[in-house]
């Protein structure tokens, strides 16, 4: 079970580092293809969200994923050796993947969005031919585990997405949002989720702007708002009490000079920026202006922490499910490891049986169909009885501590080493 995973998330690394590693959707195929070309990597997929960047691989030999991160992201040796980057192997990697898909490793435990993001990352990697048997088995099982967690626990009942946490923060600041104007910059899934939560929280005035104006128009129509061309963003933003940003821009859209102008146009009425984008869309220097308040994705952790207690019990139940599923998956993968040996053993015995059948035909002369059938049945029965014990032993011992020893003994007894070396290649 040669799985390796390396990455950073909201718990391990500050936002500044996560911004450097964030991979936009347009670059994801390149990242996956570069990863599977790295020495030792057979299969690979890349998960990049606002809270994490993770590389999941299946390897056949030693593979230094830290060196890949260093070369691909241009990280220094100090950063590569820092505690900000975590790395898991084998069963620990399986456990981590199951926990991520089940939203137990999310900033907001139980939020459903992460499962969709894992599915998208998997679809990209599989479409590129970067996912085969082992990773396919792991990620497919992760989806099933996530479904079981959500079905058998109430972990999703009290959970909220990052977008809804952002709306909770706005409510905490303003009290009621009924008379507030909200400007949503960006029209991706995060923005769409935020819009849904805003509407359900009583917002009546909502403006959408996106680089692709057609998408902003679609959002406005869907949520009963209005759309503004992205080119008029700075001319129209001062109309909003709350600006929620969620774009893929690599540089901040809003800087200090914009804030100064907005405050002047609003006659110093306060503005609140909720920036849920990575990299950030709003320069933190804006927060230093009187009347301008900026919250980024790390600030949302304080709001999310308030929901932790009520979800703790359900999360503990979910963790127990994860442990059971990790053990089951490990046993299944170990069982699969003996399949080539079993097939090679059966093939070798069948070759011997056929050779003996040909030899006996030469000695007995022409046989009747009935005689042929009788000899065929007899020899197959002998082979099956002889193979029953070694095959059963291999299967039953596959998940035990003596598996490798038994595996090697059977290979040696039946002289299967050369055949299996060819299979491995």
Looking at residue 220, which CATH number applies to its domain? Answer: 3.40.50.720
- Together in a domain, 185 and 290: yes
Q: What is the pLDDT of residues 129-158, one digit of tens each?
A: 999 989 999 999 999 999 999 999 988 765
Q: Which of 49, 51, 50, 69 is nearest to 5 (CA)?
A: 69
The domain boundary, picked from 302, 319, 344, lies at: 302
Q: 126 and 171 share a domain?
A: no
pLDDT at 208: 97
Is residue 385 in some structural domain? no
**Do 95 and 223 fall into the same domain?**
no
Which range marks the domain in which residue 88 is found? 3-158
The whole-number pLDDT of residue 339 equals: 76
User: Is 295 found in the same domain as 171?
Assistant: yes
pLDDT tens track for 341-395: 888 888 888 888 888 888 888 888 888 888 888 988 999 999 999 988 888 887 7
CA distance 118 to 139: 9
Same domain, 11 and 59: yes
**219-243 CB burial, b ≥16 within 10 A, e <16:** bbeebebbbbebeebeeebbebbbb
Q: Does residue 235 fall inside a structural domain?
A: yes
Region 112-124 average pLDDT: 94
- For residue 327, tell me if it sits in a domain: no
Catalytic residue among 5, 13, 50, 240: 50
Q: Is the pLDDT of residue 254 over 50?
A: yes
Residues 179 and 297 in one domain: yes
Q: Say whether both 142 and 244 belong to one domain.
A: no
Digit-coded pLDDT (tens) for 298-347: 887 666 666 666 677 888 899 999 999 999 898 887 777 777 788 888 88
Give the end of a domain, one of 302, 334, 361: 302
Question: Do 259 and 145 have their domain in common?
Answer: no
Residue 105 included in any domain: yes
Reply yes or no on whether the pLDDT at 283 is more than 80.
yes
CATH of the domain at 59: 3.30.460.30
Tokens of 315: 């999360």
40 within some domain:
yes
Asked if 15 and 33 sit in the same domain, the reply is yes
279 preceded by cis ω (within 30°)? yes
pLDDT score for 160: 56
pLDDT at 418 over 50: no
Answer whether residue 141 is part of any domain.
Answer: yes
| Domain membership flag for residue 115 | yes
CA distance 350 to 345: 9
Examine the fold and report which residue of 130, 158, 186 is the final residue of a domain before the chain moves on: 158
In the prediction, which pLDDT does 188 show? Answer: 85
Mean of pLDDT values over 78-97: 94
Quick one: 191 and 284 in the same domain?
yes
Q: What is the pTM of this model?
A: 0.65
What pLDDT, on the 0 to 100 scale, is given for residue 417?
59
Question: In the chain, how many domains are there?
Answer: 2
Burial state string for 61-75 with b = 16 or more CB within 10 A and e = fewer than 16 = eebebbebbbebbeb
pLDDT of 286 > 80? The answer is: yes
Q: Is 16 in the same domain as 153?
A: yes
Judge whether 253 lies within some domain: yes
Please write down the HEC assignment for all residues of the chain: CCEEEEEEECCCCCHHHHHHHCCCHHHHHHHHHHHHCCCCEEEEEEEECCCEEEEEEEECCCCCHHHHHHHHHCCCHHHHCCCCCEEEEHHHHHHHHHHHHCCCCCCCCCCCHHHHHHHHHHHHHHHCCCCCHHHHHHHHHHHHHHHHHHHHCCCCCCCCCHHHHHHHHHHHHHCCCCCCEEEEECCCHHHHHHHHHHHHCCCCEEEEECCCHHHHHHHHHHHCCEECCHHHHHHHHHHCCEEEECCCCCCCCECHHHHHHHHHHCCCCCEEEEECCCCCCECHHHHHCCCEEEEECCCHHHHHHCCHHHHHHHHHHHHHHHHHHHHHHHHHHHHHHCHHHHHHHHHHHHHHHHHHHHHHHHHHCCCCHHHHHHHHHHHHHHHHHHHHHHHHHHHHHCCCCCHHHHHHHHHHHCCCHHHHHHHHC
- Indicate if 349 belongs to the active site: no
Based on the domain organization, do 104 and 221 belong to the same domain? Answer: no
Exposed/middle/buried for residue 402 (C-beta within 10 Å: 0-12, 13-18, 19+): exposed
User: In terms of residues, how long is the chain?
Assistant: 425
């Amino acid at each position: 079970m040669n799985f390796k995973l390396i990455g950073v998330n909201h718990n391990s690394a500050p936002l500044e580092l996560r911004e450097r590693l964030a991979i936009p959707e347009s670059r994801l195929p390149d990242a996956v293809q570069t990863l599977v070309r790295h020495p030792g990597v057979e299969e690979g997929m890349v998960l990049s969200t606002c809270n994490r960047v993770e590389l999941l691989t299946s390897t056949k030999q030693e593979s230094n994923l830290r060196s890949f991160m260093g070369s691909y992201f241009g990280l220094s040796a100090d950063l590569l050796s820092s505690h900000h980057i975590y790395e898991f192997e084998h069963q620990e990697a399986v456990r981590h993947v199951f926990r991520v898909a089940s939203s137990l490793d999310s900033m907001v435990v139980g939020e459903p969005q992460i499962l969709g993001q894992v599915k998208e990352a998997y679809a990209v990697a599989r479409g590129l031919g970067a996912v085969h048997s082992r990773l396919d088995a792991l990620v497919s099982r992760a989806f099933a585990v996530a479904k079981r967690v959500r079905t058998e626990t109430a972990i999703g009942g009290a959970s909220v997405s990052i977008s809804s946490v952002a709306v909770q923060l706005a409510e905490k600041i303003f009290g009621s949002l009924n008379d507030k104007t909200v400007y949503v910059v960006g029209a991706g899934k995060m923005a769409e989720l935020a819009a849904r939560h805003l509407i359900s929280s009583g917002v009546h005035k909502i403006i959408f702007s996106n680089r692709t104006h057609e998408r902003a128009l679609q959002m406005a129509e869907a949520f009963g708002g209005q759309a503004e061309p992205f080119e008029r963003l700075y001319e129209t933003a001062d109309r909003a009490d709350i600006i929620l940003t969620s774009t893929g821009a690599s540089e901040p859209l809003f800087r200090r000079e914009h804030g100064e102008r907005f405050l002047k146009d609003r006659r110093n009425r306060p503005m609140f920026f909720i920036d849920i984008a990575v990299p950030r869309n709003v320069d933190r220097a804006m927060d230093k202006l009187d009347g301008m308040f900026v919250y980024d994705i790390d600030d949302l952790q304080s709001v999310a922490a308030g929901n932790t207690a009520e979800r703790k019990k359900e999360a503990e139940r979910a963790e127990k499910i994860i442990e059971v599923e990790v053990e089951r998956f490990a046993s299944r993968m170990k069982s699969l490891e003996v399949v080539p040996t079993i097939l090679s053993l059966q093939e070798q015995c069948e070759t011997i049986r056929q050779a003996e059948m040909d030899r006996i035909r030469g000695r007995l002369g022409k046989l009747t169909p009935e005689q042929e059938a009788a000899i065929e049945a007899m020899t197959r029965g002998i082979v099956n009885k002889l193979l029953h014990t070694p095959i059963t032993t291999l299967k039953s011992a596959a998940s035990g501590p003596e598996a490798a020893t038994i595996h090697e003994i059977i290979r040696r007894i039946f002289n299967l080493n050369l055949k299996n070396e060819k299979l491995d290649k």
